[in-house]
């Protein structure tokens, strides 16, 4: 228990520059409070004590806004930042040094029995509002972007974004858990590619127009081409950025 507390203090000081001391962490960090209370309720749960672990878990939810089922297995050095709205299901397993932000759900996908909640291996980062659902496994050193919904297994050293979650990067390089701005904008990249393709097709059509005009002596205005948006349009640039 004391070793777990020591690792909890260490990870919070490492990953939260706002943490100024042990007493501030103890009294002002709901994620830390929820984990301490969970370790007590989990111990009671493993001894098959009826009702009391669930009551303690329910009280912790009321106190901190973090709901952790007493059956969940949580490793050392886990940090639940802010914590409000975090839900961790009964058969969830969280490895060492994982980082969960507010609104994260480690939940199930139905009424199936057995292992129905996710397993997060070591050093996984789950962004704010992300949902990891079902009895899947998320490999170590993986980063899940804010608001993503992950329903399939993810290999180690990956970056996952979107709904449903898609692996957009995979390498053997250890991630920086706080580098949220480094997540790729996959939707913007797709739109940018589509708009560039449309521009190219419009250019090709204009060339064909000129060829038809030369061969048939038809006036250019007789050939109608729809006016599509392109990368120069203000609303497109505002959405995907000008990089």
Span 110-139, average pLDDT:
90
What dihedral angle (degrees, nearest 10) is formed by the CA atoms of 153, 155, 157, 160? -40
Give me the mean pLDDT over the 201-213 stretch: 80
Higher pLDDT, 181 or 124: 124
The residue with greater pLDDT, 150 or 182, is 150
Domain ranges of the chain: 2-182, 186-240
Please state whether the predicted TM-score (pTM) of the whole model is above 0.85. Answer: no
Residue 172 has pLDDT above 60, yes or no: no
Q: What is the pLDDT of residue 202?
A: 82
Cβ(81)–Cβ(61) under 8 Å?
Answer: no
Reported as a pLDDT band with limits 50, 70 and 90, residue 82 is confident
d(CA 134, CA 181): 28
CATH superfamily to which 2-182 belongs? Hexapeptide repeat proteins (2.160.10.10)
What is residue 197's predicted lDDT score, i.e. its pLDDT? 80
Overall average pLDDT of the 126-145 stretch: 92
The Cβ-side half-sphere exposure at 184, using a 13 Å CA radius, reads: 14
Beta-bridged to residue 170, according to DSSP, are 158
pLDDT band, residue 72 (cuts 50/70/90): very high
Q: What's the CA gap between 40 and 47, in Å, rounded?
A: 11
Give 231's contacts (C-beta < 8 A, 6+ positions apart): 192, 195, 196, 199, 237
Across-strand partners of 88?
68, 106
Report the C-alpha dihedral over residues 38, 43, 48, 53, rounded to 10 degrees.
Answer: -30
Distance CA 113, CA 239 (A): 43
Phi and psi torsions of 158, nearest 5°: -115, 160
């Amino acid at each position: 228990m004391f070793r777990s507390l020591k690792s909890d203090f260490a990870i919070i000081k490492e990953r939260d520059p706002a943490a100024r001391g042990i007493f501030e962490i103890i009294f002002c960090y709901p994620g830390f409070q929820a984990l301490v209370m969970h370790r007590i309720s989990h111990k009671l749960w493993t001894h098959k004590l009826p009702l009391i672990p669930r009551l303690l878990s329910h009280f912790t939810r009321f106190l901190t806004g973090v709901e952790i089922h007493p059956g969940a297995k949580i490793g050392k050095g886990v940090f639940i930042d802010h914590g409000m709205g975090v839900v961790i299901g009964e058969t969830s397993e969280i490895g060492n040094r994982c980082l969960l932000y507010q609104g994260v759900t480690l939940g199930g996908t139905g009424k199936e029995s057995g292992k129905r909640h996710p397993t997060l291996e070591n050093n996984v980062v789950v962004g704010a509002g992300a949902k990891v659902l079902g009895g899947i496994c998320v490999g170590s050193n993986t980063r899940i972007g804010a608001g993503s919904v992950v329903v399939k297994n993810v290999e180690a050293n990956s970056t996952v974004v979107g709904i449903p979650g898609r692996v957009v990067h995979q390498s053997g390089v250890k991630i920086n858990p706080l580098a949220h701005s480094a997540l790729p904008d996959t939707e913007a990249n797709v739109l940018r590619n589509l708009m560039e393709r449309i521009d190219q097709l419009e250019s090709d059509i204009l060339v064909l127009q000129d060829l038809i005009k030369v061969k048939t002596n038809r006036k250019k205005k007789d050939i109608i081409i729809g006016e599509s948006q392109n990368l120069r349009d203000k609303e497109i640039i505002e959405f995907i950025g000008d990089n």
